[in-house]
């Protein structure tokens, strides 16, 4: 069993990373790709398990890509056995999609002194899920399609503004640049009217607030040890994914910023040299998203 785990790990990392690299080489960011798909009607939603619990981190990117590539209308996924337990069946000829599961196991060992110690061993395994569009004879409640959100731009702004205000971040407006200044601990944005759409303004604000979570008094995100000279590019990658995760839960469309196009080649270099980099970045983006939602009221967190 141990030998199988060791050989499976690099394969999973490689399969996921290679898929994302393929998108980036075409100039497509997987974390915003769903909103650009011609087959996507309404607003994209987070992929969920059979019980309605949303996926997190890297699995969001994987299943968003699968949903778009295969034209699935539902955001719900389940395993072959979960479908069987519901007296349903995967259609003949359907192919499943990869998701990953990470955890740690505790192993007892004896050290050189003869003392028994416990050591945590991280592991990751991949497993296959199917979209409910690939499954027959499911109960009606499992085939409920995600509801399209049809709201006016002003309403979306108001909804997002409440969310951002609840974070307590200091946000200033003026100039023609959007950035987070760590020393002053402020988010600087152009005035809302300078953006093409209300969603564009909110999306860029989500991006900068993801940077804001990196402050030492919050998540204290230190990337130098993990990414070395690529730490700055890694932080931008985290901010892009974090903003996409936030936007998905707020019903907003993330912004593909032209001033970030230069990072694509850098990200490709990092991902090709380190198969675990995208996993680490997605995990950090998930933590940032969860932190921003933790600053909301209890009612808002339950709605998310």
* Number of domain units in the chain: 2
Show which of 88, 115, 143 is a domain's final residue.
Answer: 143
Residues 167 and 107 occupy one common structural domain: no
Question: What pLDDT shows up at residue 117?
Answer: 75
Q: State residue 65's pLDDT score.
A: 82
Q: Is residue 148 part of a domain?
A: no
Max distance between CA atoms of the chain, in angstroms, equals 69
Question: Which helix (H) or strand (E) covers residue 2, if one does?
Answer: helix 2-25
Q: For the whole model, what pTM was predicted? A: 0.72
Query: Do 279 and 158 reside in the same domain of the chain?
Result: yes
pLDDT per residue, tens digit, the chain (304 aa), is 333 334 444 467 788 888 888 878 877 677 765 444 443 344 568 899 999 999 999 999 899 888 877 778 789 999 999 999 999 999 998 999 999 988 877 777 777 776 777 777 777 889 999 999 899 999 988 875 545 444 444 344 688 999 999 999 999 888 778 889 999 899 988 888 878 788 888 999 999 999 999 999 999 999 999 999 899 889 989 998 999 899 989 888 776 666 556 677 788 888 888 999 999 999 999 999 999 999 997 655 554 5
Q: For residue 131, what is the enclosing H or E element?
A: strand 116-131
**Residue-level pLDDT at 140:** 87
The count of residues in the chain is 304
Is residue 164 located within the same domain as residue 280?
A: yes
pLDDT given at position 66: 85
Sheet with 171-173, edge to edge strand ranges: 171-173, 186-189, 179-181
User: Within this chain, do residues 90 and 109 fall inside the same structural domain, yes or no?
Assistant: yes
- What integer pLDDT is reported at residue 238 of this predicted model? 94
**Does one domain contain both 278 and 189?**
yes
pLDDT the model gives residue 176: 78
Which domain range does residue 245 map to?
153-303
With H, G, I as helix, E, B as strand and everything else as coil, classify residue 145. coil
pLDDT at position 180: 94
């Amino acid at each position: 069993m141990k030998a199988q785990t060791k050989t499976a790990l690099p394969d999973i990392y490689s399969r996921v990373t290679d898929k994302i690299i393929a998108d980036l080489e075409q100039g497509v960011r997987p974390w915003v790709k769903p909103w650009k798909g011609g087959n996507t009607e309404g607003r994209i939603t987070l992929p969920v398990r059979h019980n309605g619990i949303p996926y997190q981190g890297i699995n969001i990117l994987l299943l968003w890509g699968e949903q778009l590539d295969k034209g699935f209308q539902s955001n719900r996924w389940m395993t072959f056995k979960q479908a069987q337990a519901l007296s349903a069946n995967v259609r003949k000829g359907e192919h499943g999609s990869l998701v990953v599961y990470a955890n740690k196991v505790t192993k007892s060992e004896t050290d050189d002194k003869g003392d028994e110690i416990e050591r945590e061993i991280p592991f990751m395994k991949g497993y296959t899920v199917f979209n409910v569009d690939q499954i027959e004879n499911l109960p009606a409640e499992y085939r409920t399609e995600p509801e399209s959100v049809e709201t006016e731009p002003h309403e979306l702004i108001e909804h997002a503004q409440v969310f951002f205000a609840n974070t307590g971040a200091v946000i200033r407006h003026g100039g023609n640049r959007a950035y987070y200044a760590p020393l002053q601990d402020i988010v600087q944005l152009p005035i809302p009217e300078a953006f093409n759409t209300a969603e564009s303004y909110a999306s860029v604000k989500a991006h900068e607030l993801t940077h804001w979570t990196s402050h030492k008094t919050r998540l204290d995100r230190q990337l130098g040890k993990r990414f070395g000279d690529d730490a700055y590019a890694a932080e931008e990658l985290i901010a892009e994914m974090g903003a996409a995760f936030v936007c998905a839960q707020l019903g907003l469309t993330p912004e593909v910023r032209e001033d970030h196009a230069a990072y694509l080649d850098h990200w490709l270099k990092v991902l090709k040299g380190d198969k675990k980099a995208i996993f680490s970045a997605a995990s950090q983006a998930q933590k940032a998203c969860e932190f921003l939602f933790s600053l909301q009221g209890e009612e808002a967190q339950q709605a998310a």
